[in-house]
Amino acid sequence: MVFRRGKHRKTEEAKAQIGQKQKKNENKSMKEDKINKLTEKIIGIAIDVHKFLGPGFVEKVYEKALAIEFKENKIKYDRQREIEVKYRNGILIGKQRVDFFVEDEVILELKAISEIMDLHKAQMLSYLKTMNKRIGLVLNFAKPTLQIKRIINGY
């Protein structure tokens, strides 16, 4: 059996590239699993808050209750996190606030309104793009059952 040196080297390089892609996909999958588990936990906590308080309060009441629950569950969060909106070449053109930024991964927007509308979904997508994050949750506490919309940024 005769090996050609150049061909063998290319085969090894191809195998290495495949291995790197597989590892990258595994890491991405592990991160997505972690984020999915986090969003499940957040949703569970939000449901508990909603069950306890019920509908009818202003957003700030639910925000304070969620902050208490996050702290008790040792979930890291920023409340009323300010984000900068930049235009071409990084020029600052404004600032916005997100209700919660959880574990440096998930953005939460709280509502106490009759219905989550496309406007609220677009708002969340804008936050996700601005912060370069993948997952956001819009939670509406005004309904008899907590209304949840999961928004995904496709980058």
* pLDDT band per the 50, 70, 90 thresholds, residue 5: low
DSSP letter, residue 132: T
Q: Tokens 């040196």 belong to which residue?
A: 5
The Cα–Cα gap between 100 and 82 comes to: 10
User: How do residues 95-154 score in pLDDT, each as one tens digit?
Assistant: 999 999 999 999 999 999 999 999 999 999 999 999 999 999 999 999 999 999 999 998
Task: Retrieve residue 93's tokens.
Answer: 């053109």
Those residues with Cβ within 8 angstroms of residue 59's Cβ, 6 or more apart along the chain or in another chain: 99, 110, 111, 112, 141
C-alpha distances out from residue 21 to 9, 14, 16, 24, 59, Å: 18, 11, 9, 5, 44
What phi and psi values does residue 2 have, to the nearest 5 degrees? -110, 130
Average pLDDT over residues 64-87: 97
Q: What is the pTM of this model?
A: 0.81
Q: What's residue 32's pLDDT? A: 87
CATH number, position 94: 3.40.1350
- Inter-residue contact 75 to 88 (CB < 8 Å): no
pLDDT tens by residue, 12-70:
666 556 556 565 566 767 888 999 999 999 999 999 999 999 999 999 999 999 999 99
pLDDT at 142: 98
- Given this model, what pLDDT does residue 8 score? 57
Q: What is the pLDDT of residue 18?
A: 59
How many structural domains compose the chain?
A: 1
Place of tokens 């059996």: 1
Write out the residue range of the structural domain in which residue 27 sits: 5-152
pLDDT, residue 29, reads: 78
With both helix axes pointing from N to C terminus, report the angle between 59-72 and 5-53 in degrees, rounded to the nearest 10: 120
Helix (H, G, I), strand (E, B) or coil at 31: helix
Between these two residues, 10 and 93, which has the higher pLDDT value?
A: 93
